[in-house]
Structure formats: C-alpha cells, structure tokens
Structure 1
Amino acid sequence: MKFGQLFSRVKRIEPARLFSLTAPGSVSVSTACPANGRKKSSQYSSVNTEKYSSLVKSVVSLRTSCQTPASLEEEDGHIYGPVVKSKPARKRLPKTQFPLVNRNSDRIDLTPEAERGSPARFALQRGAGTPSVTHILRQTIPPDQAFYLERWRKNMIALLGEDGFNDYTLHIFRQGKLFHSALETLLLPEKVSAEPTESSEAVEGYLESIQHVLRHIGDVRAVESAVRHQPLLYQGLVDCVAQFRGKLCVIDWKTSEKPKPSLRSTFDNPLQVAAYIGAINNDDNYKYQVERGLIVVAYKDGSPAHPHFMTSELCQEYWTKWLLRLEEFVERQPTASTQ
C-alpha cells in the first residue's frame, strides 16, 4: 500500500526526470535526459572541422592577434615588395659660390675708436640700374609667405576698408621713418645729426623698448648708409654698423605691433642682414670686415625689445639662402636680346 502511494507521487513529477532511491524512505531525482530522447540534428554536422580548425582556434583565442611585427613585415614584403628607403633631399646650393667675408681683403681698420671720426653716411644712388636688397626679396618671396601676406592684407581690408588699409600702411611706414630718425639722433654726434625731426611722442614707446639694447651698443661705424656689392651688383641702405657686446655687427632696427621672440618670426630680415654684411665686405667705402648681425624688434607699447643676435655661422647660413634668392631674381630678368 505504501509503495503504491509513493509511485503515484513520483508520476506527478516532470516526465523527463528519473528517480532513484538512495536510502530507505528517501528519493533522489536525476535531471538526465531519458535514454530514448531524440537527438536534434545540427546544420554544422556536415562541416569539415579539420579543415577549419585553425580558423576556429584563432577566433576563440584570447589573444587579439597572432601576428608579430616580423610577420607583418614579411606579409607586407610579399604584397608590396621590399621597402625602398629614399635618400634624403639634397640641400640646394647656389650656382655661384661667393664668400660672405672677403678673406683676401687687407681692409682691417686698426684706428682707435676715439680717432675714427664720424660714422659713415653714404647716400643711396637710386635708379642706377642696381636692384636693392628689399626689391630682390620682395620679388622672390616664397609661395607660403606670399599666401599668408595676401591673406593678412585681405583680412585687414575687410576690417578697415580699402582706404582705411592704405591709411594704416602709411601710418606704419611713417612711424618706422620717425623711429629711424630718432635713432640717428641718438647714435650720431650732434654735428652730423639729422635735421630736427617731428615730436618723439609718436615713437616714445619704441625708444623705451630698445633702452636695454642701446646700453650694449658702441663703436658706431655707420648709420643709414648705402652699401653696394660690386661683384654681385646689388645695393641697400644699412641701418647701423656698430659693436654689440663687443662684436662688430650689421644692426637692423625693426618695429612691430606683435611680439617676435624668435629669429624665425622675423621672416626675411636675416637674409637682408646677411646681404648687407656681404655688401659691406665688398664695398671699397668701408675699411673693415663684418661677420655678425643683430636684428632688434622694438614695440610701440614700450615692452622690452627682442634682440636677435646672428653668429658668424648663422650669417653664413643665411648668406647661402640670400645667394639663392639673388640667383632666382637674376634668372627672372629678361635678357638684353629680348628687351
């Protein structure tokens, strides 16, 4: 009777379950599928597992990639061929190598500074058929500089209008001229000083800006003086030739409304200085040789000017660049037969 009641209890459990007696009066139920359960057929049963075993292993592997730099390089070699390393670009050199310093010259001025007399002030002979340094640089400006200069010009015209922009450039030019006139008064003895200039209020900030530089300027040899490179046939007007911290330099005074703390930010000014150095060293009006340069950028608000000293090595580097620009300018000129 008891067995019949127990059997009827078990029948009410899920049909798929089996039971077993583990001890008197207790039942253990199994979750195993019945032996006679039908096994479902899989769509992957016909797949060649041996053929795709390597693919399956790579997919289920915990590693993100089984490739190494060496295997990738080998694979690229099979696909693209061996790597061909390009040679570094050759540095362009001017066709005519002309020295910056005239080593064959005997122009060494040993006259004491006190006995040297007034600084040179030779007038520039304009319209003599000899192009100026500024004209050559303007005609051979690199495309990237020309792009940024033109973009700046268009932005200023959009902001100020055509007439306003013309007034602005005229004002900048006038300020630069007043600044150089004030410098002449400071650097030249009174007996050869330039004629009285306008009020220095317009350039007061610029003069304040360069005070810390002027303390290191001495032995002034030339101020606003023309120079001419006789063999290479170009000329220019040098701002100043003087000693800066005991080194004889060609000095170029510049004004700027924006800070120019690096030599690179002065654009073509280093080439201009190098061109003036080369001209002085080959101009019979000057009885000395110069190997260094100085660019002084003064600011209208009176903040300290940025002096950029150019060593002899740096001047030589920019001299090479200047010769390339000069060469480019000459090549653009029409020949006598086509004129």
Structure 2
Amino acid sequence: MQSLSSICKKLGRSSRFFVELAPSVGFSTSCYFCSQKKKKNPYQEVDQNKYSNLIRSIISTKISSQTPESLFQEDDLLYGPVSECKVQEQESGPIKNTILLLNPEKRNGSNTLTDSSVPLKIPLQKNKMPSVTRILQQTMTAKQILTLERWKQKMILELGEDGFAEYTSDIFLQGKHFHEALEAMLSSQEQLKELDEKTISSGYVASVQHVLKDLSGVRAVESAVHHETLKYLGLMDCVAEYRGKLCVIDWKTSEKPKPFIRNTFDNPLQVVAYVGAINHDANYNFEVQCGLIVVAYKDGSPAHTHFMDSELCCQYWPKWLLRLEKYTEREKNQTTPNPD
C-alpha cells in the first residue's frame, strides 16, 4: 500500500501537467478567434505617395481648386482626347440627288482651252446660291462642333479673348498672303513683281516649292465656279495638272502636321464639290476627275500632298450630296412658316 505522501506527489505531477496545458490551449484558442474578428484597414494599402498631391489640394483650401484648365485636363483624363472626325464615318443614308460627279458631255468635247497659257479667273458674283464653305459649316456634325469649341476655349485660356482674336486675325492674313503669292506665281510674272519680298519668301511658300515643280498646264486660278443643276457655288484655288493628272487643287495652311487625308476633316468634300461644279459649269469647257489637297506649313517644312484620284473622288461625292441635302432641308424648314 502506497503511502499518502507518494500519492500526493503523483497527483501533484499530474496537476502541473494539466495546469501547464490549459493556458497553452486557452492562448492558442484566443489568438484564433482574434485573428477571425480582426479586419485589415483598407486605407493602409493605399499608395500614399500617389495621392499625396490630391490630399494636399483638398485640405489646403476650403474653396474648389478646379479651374477651367483643370476641367479640360480632367475631361481628357476621364474620356480621352476628342477623336478627330473621319469623313467616312460622318454621313450615311439614302441620297435623293442622282447627279453624277463627272460629265460625259464634256469628256467627249475638246477638253482644252483656246489659250491655255492664260488661266481662267472668273470673278465670284453675288448670287442667291449658297457657297460650298457655308454648306459645310452649317452641316457640321456634333463631334466637329465640339472639337472646334473645345479648341477655341483652350486657346482663349492660353491667350485671352483679345489674344485669341489677334491670333485668328493673323492666321487669316497669313493665309490670304499665301494665296496671293501662289496666284501670282501661277498666273504671270507681272503679278509676281507686285508682291513684296516678305510674302514671296514666307515659310508657307517655301513649304510648297516641291509641289509647284510637279504642276503644269494651269487652267484656272482663284476662279469662281457654280453647279448649274445642284445650285451651289464656290471659289477654287487652282485647276492644274499635277504629275500629268488634271486636278482641282486646294491650298491649305497649318501649324500642325497633317500627313493623312483624314487629318484634313472636310477638305475632301470641298474638293469634290468643286470638281462636280466645274464639270457642270458652262464657263469651263473641260472635265476634271481628280483633286489635290496641299497642306503648307509655316516653318517651311515640306508640304503634305493628298492626291484624290477619280475613284476616291467618286467615293466622297455621295457624302457631299448628303451634306448638301441636309443644308437644303434645314433652310427649307427655317423658311417654312409654322402652322398656327
């Protein structure tokens, strides 16, 4: 029979064993439940450096830190830059007019001038017919209007109202002098002598020198044209042969490069409108099947040329007819009195 002291010692050892285990089990269980209940703070994962400027701008002032310029930047960031309107995406729908771009009657005629050395220059007379420029301006798409308005607002932010007015005036005068120089260079040496050296040596004129070398057989310069059937008119820059192809040539000026025809917005429609008009104008006894857009640059860098062959002109012609129909319909609705 074991003594009482030995039994107590055994119980003591057993008791210490369980006492030691209990806190261990209890501690591990407590940590498990705490880890389930405790949630990570999402703000701790935010890149503080990335948003530090935003945070400082918010807490540094009680008024809005937005300015018109910042709104434009925010707009570009959220929605991207305004996409340039492609002519191919602008117009769709049936065409009421079935007038052809080309004129078989002129094609079967002489197609030559009596004196090809003297380019035609028919003056633009007052007429109730709308001009090509007016038709295109009045039928711009919503995207085109938005693009122009945003550009205008950004320029005003940079230059101010007076500065923007002066800027547009300078652009107009530069374009006018550029066209005067080209008219003189393509018409006669006498007109060329009348121009001052500054106009002749401008960057725009230098920009088109390589194009002028490819021109020959000038038929018309700064000459008015009208479509006898469709009833619209315009003032063409030039009709001449470009690398052997008779073209309606439209001279444009730009401060930014326009290497692709899609960068010229509605200029192809303007060219085909003149092509169609000249083919149906009795003042011209020749037919034109091609067009050429020449974009000259102020810094004198080589101008970009966009040649429009007969096939491409025929693709743009229906789009011009749709714009013309849209303009005619709008004018009709404005002149028709509303019923009481």
Can you give the 5+ residue segments of structure 2 that lack an aligned partner in the other structure? 1-90
How far the C-alpha of 1:104 sits from its partner, in A, is: 3.2
Cα deviation, residue 201, structure 1: 4.7
Does structure 1 conserve the Cα–Cα contact (< 8 Å) formed by 2:294 and 2:304?
yes
Deviations 1:53-106 (A, max 9, x none): xxxxxxxxxxxxxxxxxxxxxxxxxxxxxxxxxxxxx95231112100011346
Q: Residue deviations 1:19-52, cap 9 Å, x none?
A: xxxxxxxxxxxxxxxxxxxxxxxxxxxxxxxxxx
With over 3 angstroms needed to count, the CA separation of the structure-2 counterparts of 1:184 and 1:105, relative to structure 1, is closer
Asked whether the 8 Å contact 2:252–2:294 carries over to 1, the reply is yes
Q: Is the CA contact 2:111–2:285 (under 8 Å) kept in the aligned structure 1?
A: no
For the Cα contact (< 8 Å) 1:293–1:311, is it kept in 2?
Answer: yes
Which of 310, 314, 317 is the matching residue for 2:315? 317
Taking a change above 3 Å as real, the CA distance of residues 267 and 237 of structure 1, as seen in their structure-2 partners, is same
Q: Which has the higher contact order (CA 8 A, sep 6+)?
A: 2
Q: Distance in 2 between matches of 1:94 and 1:163?
A: 44
The answer on 1:122 being equivalent to 2:131 is no
Counterpart residue identity of residue 313, structure 2: C
Give the secondary structure class of the aligned counterpart of 1:333: helix
Matches within 5 A, 1:201-220: 201=199, 204-220=202-218
Q: Which residue of 1 aligns with 2:242?
A: 244
TM-score, scaled relative to structure 1? 0.69
Alignment of 1:59-138 (within 5 A): 92-105=93-106, 108-109=109-110, 111=112, 115-126=115-126, 128-138=127-137
Instruction: Report if aligned partners of 2:185, 2:192 keep a CA contact under 8 Å in 1.
Output: no
Correspondence 1:151-166 to 2 at 5 A: 151-166=150-165
Question: Counterpart in 1 of 2:186?
Answer: 187
TM-score (norm 2): 0.69
What are the Cα deviations for residues 90-133 of structure 1, in whole angstroms up to 9, with x where unaligned? Answer: 952311121000113466335489x424100001113x211100
Q: Please, which of 261, 264, 267 is the counterpart of residue 266 of structure 1?
A: 264
Q: Distance in 2 between matches of 1:290 and 1:334?
A: 31
Q: Which residue of 1 aligns with 2:56?
A: none
Gap change, CA 1:154 and 1:202, over 3 Å in 2: farther
Q: Percent identity?
A: 54
Seen in structure 2, the aligned counterparts of structure 1 residues 285 and 169 have a Cα distance that, compared at 3 Å, is same
Pick from 326, 329, 333 the counterpart of residue 327 of structure 2: 329
Write the letter of the residue equivalent to 1:163: D
RMSD: 2.1
User: Which segments of 5 or more consecutive residues in structure 1 lack a partner in the other structure?
Assistant: 1-89
Structure with higher helix content: 2
